[in-house]
Each structure stands twice: as C-alpha cells, then as structure tokens.
C-alpha cells in the first residue's frame, strides 16, 4: 500500500498540535520546533502542479537555473524584485530538481513562524493555538501556494520585534538605536523579494496609536464600502504595489477570500476584544496587536474592491497568531472561560475540516512511502 508523504506529515502535525495543547509544561519549545519542521516539509514537498502559483514559480526556477551567475545578476537588475530572482537561482547550485527549490523557499515561513511564536509566546499550549490560527486565518494555504510574499511576510515577522524596542521618538534616530537599523534592513530585504512589503511601514503610525473601542465601527463599516463601491484611486495604488500580481488577482473577487475570511477575522478579534482589559494590563504591546488586527480587518474588507487585498491583510492580521493564544490564556482562568476555549477549539476544527475548502488545502506530494 502506498502512502503519500504529505498525508503522513499532516497526521503527525495535527498529533503534535494535540500533544502541545494537552501539555502541562509551562515552557518548552520542542513542540514549536517540531511543528515548524512539519510545516517546512509539508510546504516544501508539494508537487509543482499544486495551485497555479506553484507552477508559475517552478517555471521561473526552470528558467533561472539555466543562467550563469553573471547572467542571473544582470537579469535581476532589470526586475523590481531582484532578490527573488537571485534567491530562486541559488538552489540550482545544489540541484536542478524543483523540489530542492521548493524546500529552500519553504524555509522562510517555517523559520519566520518559529521566531514569531518563540519571541511572543511561552507554553506548548500557546504554540498549538497559534498554529491552529495559522490554518484558520488561511495563512497556511497562502504560504503553501506562494513563495515571494510568504518569504517577505516571514522577514516581517522577525523584523517587527525590533520595532517594538523603539519606545520614544528619539529612538528613531539611527545613531541612537540599532534596533531601528535592523528593522529597516529586514524590511528592505523583504521589499526586494515582494514589493507589497511597503504597506507594513504603516506600523510606524499604528505603533503610536492608543486603542479605542470605536475603531471597531470603522472595521465593520469598511466591509460595506468594500462590497458596494469600486474606488478608482484605490485600484491605481494597488496596481502600483502589486505589479504583475494585480493583473492575476486584482479583478477577481472570490467570496471565500472576502466575506467568510472577514467574518472569521472579526470573530477572532472579538474573542480578544472581550479580554482587552486583561491583555493590556499584562502587556502594553497588546494595544499594538489589537490595532493591527483591526487594520487587517479593513484590508480584508477591501477584497470587495480588489481580490488581492486578502494578501495585504496578512501583514496585519498575522498578529492574531499571538493575541488569540494570549486571550485564551485569560479565558482559561475561569470555568466558563474554559468552556468557551473548548468550544472555540472545536469550532476551529469543524471550520477547517468541514466548512472551509481553501484553508486546509488538499494537495499531492511528489514522494510516496511504501
């Protein structure tokens, strides 16, 4: 009997989620390392014909691998995302097999998730919830099909921690704070892989904002605007940021990526909002996370204007991976709260396995086990 390797790893991954959630240990990142390793294998061992994006990237690799170092360098200078070209060529030094190419790029999301969770969460239970949110948000389906923005998002995940070290306006002076230099360096690198990284610079403004409950009205109102109106100026700016990707996604509006995604994110936000007082008391940076989730909701609502906006929303709603586990930790302090947590976990699995056709993608691996 033949077993597809990706199925075996999928099963192992969800077993690790269960073990992590049931773990009584207060601090142990072994589960986190294993979860990230599984993500790396699942994404890296996919077939080249899984999703249209994957086939396009493999075609790029087939084109790049035929070039010498001098030619690939000159070719990269003609592109708006030169580092993507150079990094896509690098695996050809080891092998011209596309699987090596995919395994190389899948390192980015797995490493990004590792540092993102390790720096912000503490327990195996938190890690398990964070990775469940990875699937519920559709982030896994996104990185399993893409490469460029998945890599850029991973660098953003690492970079934001340096931004959080900037606490005063004086810290923005390069001479005073190397954290600012590191943040800008990572964002610049991410920009040369995927130009949409520019939108993350909004954090300079969001970082200084307090949190007010009336912000929610803006996020809720945005979904009406996004589904009723087409804003010409918004379309022009998006085309500039997204380039060739705008032609592919910008005119297609997929309901599952817009309204259902919006309501899932709204539910996650409200789950955190109920515990906002406790979250803010525990850490002031949770104010930043709440605001980032709200901005993500606004971008998600704009998929009614441009389908590609769900991709931009990831730069902001990814912080749900941190805030939701922290909120659930507060819920677990009471009997009713524990019941809500169990109901939430159950709802997530029902959504993934029975209600969502894209967030838990079914795809083939090119490797089989006998």
- Measure the CA–CA gap between 338 and 335, rounded to whole angstroms: 5
Residue 94 backbone phi and psi in degrees, to 5: -85, -45
The pTM score is 0.86
Q: Which sign does the torsion angle of CA 213, 302, 260, 19 carry?
A: negative
- Measure the CA–CA gap between 221 and 223, rounded to whole angstroms: 5
**H helix runs in 5-97, sequence order:** 5-22, 30-44, 51-64, 69-76, 82-89
Confidence of residue 232 (pLDDT cuts 50, 70, 90): very low
Q: Given a cut of 50, is residue 324 above it in pLDDT? A: yes
Counting beta carbons within 10 angstroms of the beta carbon of residue 208, is it exposed (0 to 12), middle (13 to 18) or buried (19 or more)? exposed
- Measure the CA–CA gap between 46 and 204, rounded to whole angstroms: 37
- Measure the CA–CA gap between 354 and 25, rounded to whole angstroms: 31
Number of Cβ atoms within 10 Å of the Cβ of 30: 13
Mean pLDDT of 234-250: 48
User: Mind listing the pLDDT tens digit for each residue in 171-183?
Assistant: 555 545 778 888 8
Q: What's the DSSP call for residue 196?
A: G
DSSP lists the bridge partners of residue 3 as 369
User: Residue 191 has which token pair?
Assistant: 């920009």
User: Mind listing the pLDDT tens digit for each residue in 6-54?
Assistant: 567 778 888 888 888 888 777 778 899 999 998 998 888 887 777 668 8
Residues 77, 121: contact at Cβ < 8 Å? no
Number of Cβ atoms within 10 Å of the Cβ of 24: 7
């Amino acid at each position: 009997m033949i077993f597809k390797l990706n199925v075996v790893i999928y099963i192992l991954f969800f077993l690790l989620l269960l073990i992590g959630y049931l773990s009584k240990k207060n601090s142990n990142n072994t589960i986190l390392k294993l979860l990230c390793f599984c993500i790396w294998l699942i994404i890296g061992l996919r077939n080249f014909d899984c999703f249209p994006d994957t086939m396009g990237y493999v075609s790029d690799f087939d084109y790049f691998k035929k070039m010498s170092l001098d030619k690939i360098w000159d070719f990269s200078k003609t592109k708006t995302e030169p580092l993507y070209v150079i990094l896509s060529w690098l695996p050809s030094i080891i092998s011209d097999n596309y699987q090596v190419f995919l395994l190389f790029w899948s390192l980015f999301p797995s490493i990004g998730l590792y540092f993102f969770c390790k720096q912000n969460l503490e327990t195996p239970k938190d890690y398990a919830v964070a990775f469940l949110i990875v699937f519920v948000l559709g982030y896994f389906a996104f990185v399993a099909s893409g490469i460029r923005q998945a890599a850029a998002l991973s660098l953003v995940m690492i970079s934001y921690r340096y931004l959080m070290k900037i606490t005063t306006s004086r810290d923005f002076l390069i001479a005073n704070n190397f954290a600012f230099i590191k943040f800008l360096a990572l964002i610049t690198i991410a920009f040369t892989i995927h130009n949409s990284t520019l939108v993350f610079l909004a954090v300079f403004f969001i970082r200084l904002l307090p949190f007010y409950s009336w912000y929610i009205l803006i996020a809720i109102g945005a979904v009406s605007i996004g589904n009723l109106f087409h804003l010409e100026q918004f379309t022009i700016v998006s085309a500039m940021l997204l380039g060739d990707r705008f032609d592919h996604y910008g005119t297609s509006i997929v309901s599952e990526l817009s309204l259902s995604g919006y309501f899932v994110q709204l539910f996650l936000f409200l789950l955190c909002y109920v515990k906002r007082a406790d979250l803010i008391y525990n850490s002031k940076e949770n104010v930043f996370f709440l605001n980032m989730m709200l901005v993500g909701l606004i971008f998600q609502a704009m998929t009614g204007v441009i389908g590609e906006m769900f991709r931009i929303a990831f730069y902001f709603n990814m912080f749900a991976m941190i805030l939701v586990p922290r909120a659930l930790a507060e819920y677990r302090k009471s009997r009713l709260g524990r019941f809500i947590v169990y109901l939430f976990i159950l709802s997530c699995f029902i959504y993934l396995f029975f209600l969502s056709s894209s967030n838990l993608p079914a795809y083939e691996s090119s490797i089989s086990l006998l």
